[in-house]
Chain A
């Protein structure tokens, strides 16, 4: 079977989300060809955990996030959330499940309705779901606005464009919290923000996570940002998973050649270190005709013949650390039990 394996899935009563063999394909016009956006990935997230998802543009991070939400439904594979299979779920059950999962996006300003007052935008989900009395709704919204650092009075008078990008991201976060979700999928929430606002928003997410007992999936292309907020990180390349590891371990001992490339691309704010770095050449190939074998082989400095014909499976290289590579930089270990 040509999946990337499931050795990394955990057998724990605390699993909040488990996706198995997730495939998402999009047709290319009427050519009969398809975009292989996500090609058989498996992942799990425990309650209270933050899973980071990193990789270059187009590798399928957002598609994975949306497939978890069933927007649109994946081509095949399973998504189990709070013990229930979502891919077959319909109607009210599906609508209800979607309140338990929320998504926030990269472009905070355009993801908020420009014509409404900010306080109304944050309250809207409560109105739609008819949660509580008017007074209870108002109390909840104002409390959450305070929590994310937005003045409820100003929010009641102003539209999104009257706030900065960082403030709009705080507003999106507030809106995602009002229905008491258990999972929040953050799709590049800080990529459009400058470094100082990025730090504010990352700290805010950490605080809210502790306060509301949230589980997060955090999507980004900058491994330094992902490392900071995540407990565990999955590295994606062209619709596949390359490596999964606890975040500190991924940085200390990257096992996949692509992970090393990503780490090496992060600009280091130190002129003595920065000048010795060289960038990897080229860009990922088209997901319409992905390379056979290991999808990273055309750009991999360590590729050999087998990489062009056989797809590597995820194998353990350490405690909670898994890599899909024929020639990883760490020797795989035998799994004693799982």
Chain B
């Protein structure tokens, strides 16, 4: 029996993707790594979602969990992942094969490692078309050429005959996008697709992804550590920290009314062009938690400047803001709240005390 999703069986009206309490844990000699630890959200058809967070926060493993691209050994999965209303969270790689390409496709940070170095570009794009869509070789190559034109590669016909190493990093990423688009996926996952590229090429690739998404009415999941990258290229943003979803909102809503101190800290750590040179950057002290032994309360508490005892002991639930039921956050003292302001006053007072102490000891001589 074919595992392919029948058009008639598709839930066309509901969300494209629905995640309910998704967990992905790995058994390791050190203990269980809770890489993704209870993530729920949904994504509508044709929308672009940004997943943001520091390295190690679980972004890649979350997108790989949805794609069904996890290591077969030692992986413990839980929760539910529905694609067009159908449960796919429990499918094995073999069953997922019919979903890859036509339903969901993925591109990665380093195009060189995902391209075959000894196969011509043309064949790398054409082969999946022959396999998945049953095209003749000739048709597949013609389609490959058109795809290269779609991703704005100049002299597409000549490029079909080239090998990956004959292209720049930006061109290779365009080829990866062409391969991902080949079977017309409903959703495209892009994991740090521009992190290895120049700012100029990054801007081009992001524009290209946006353009293809609109033209094809495709959903896009853009994974990155840089809030600047998602600001102009997504409809919604999900912020992850320590394997959890800690804030989710429309892109505009998030930037206009940031709730999580972590989201605020991520934004503040980006150097701003309008700041004068040598402006001290607001780095987030310390590192993300060890996911074998995550903190029991709020996972950000060890690094959060506003943390109090309650944060250390009790885990804040993911709740909606008063103004917007679609703006979710998990924090006891969100940005702008009374507790947050009190904490700011407390921090200012203790800084004042430290400075005064430093001044006294300095004045006290050597």
Chain A interface residues (CB < 8 Å from chain B) = 56-58, 164-166, 194-200, 202-203, 206, 221-225, 227-231, 247-248, 251, 261-275, 277-283
A267-B232 CB under 8 A given contacts A203-B283, A280-B200:
yes
Cβ of B283 and Cβ of A199 under 8 Å apart? yes
Cβ of B282 and Cβ of A199 under 8 Å apart? yes
Contacts of B312 in A (CB 8 A): none
Cβ of B280 and Cβ of A57 under 8 Å apart? no
Cβ of B200 and Cβ of A270 under 8 Å apart? no
Interface centre among A166, A202, A231, A266 (most CB of B within 10 A): A266
Q: Whole-angstrom distance between the alpha carbons of A227 and B199 in the complex?
A: 14
- Which of A196, A224, A225, A267 interacts with B229 by CB under 8 Å? A267
Contacts of A261 in B (CB 8 A): 200
Chain B interface residues (CB < 8 Å from chain A) = 54-55, 152, 154, 168-171, 197-204, 206-207, 225-229, 231-233, 251-252, 255, 265-267, 269-285, 287
Cβ of A196 and Cβ of B283 under 8 Å apart? yes
A268-B271 CB under 8 A given contacts A221-B198, A247-B277, A279-B200:
no
- Closest A residue to B229 by beta carbon equals A267
Cβ of B199 and Cβ of A222 under 8 Å apart? yes
Q: Whole-angstrom distance between the alpha carbons of A202 and B226 in the complex?
A: 16
Q: Whole-angstrom distance between the alpha carbons of A279 and B211 in the complex?
A: 13
Tell me the smallest distance from the CB of A286 to a CB of chain B, in Å: 10
Interface residues of B: mostly helix, strand, loop or mixed? loop
Q: Jot down 8 A-B pairs with beta carbons below 8 A, ordered by A.
A: A56-B198, A57-B197, A196-B225, A196-B283, A268-B232, A271-B255, A274-B232, A279-B204
Contacts of B54 in A (CB 8 A): 194-197
Contacts of B279 in A (CB 8 A): 228
Contacts of B229 in A (CB 8 A): 267
Cβ of A248 and Cβ of B277 under 8 Å apart? yes
Beyond A251-B273, A270-B231, A280-B200: 5 further Cβ-contacts under 8 Å? A57-B197, A228-B281, A247-B277, A248-B276, A266-B199
Tell me the smallest distance from the CB of A115 to a CB of chain B, in Å: 21
Q: Whole-angstrom distance between the alpha carbons of A164 and B289 in the complex?
A: 12
Q: Whole-angstrom distance between the alpha carbons of A192 and B255 in the complex?
A: 25
Cβ of B199 and Cβ of A230 under 8 Å apart? no
A265-B281 CB under 8 A given contacts A195-B270, A270-B255, A279-B207:
no
- Which of A199, A202, A269, A281 interacts with B228 by CB under 8 Å? A269
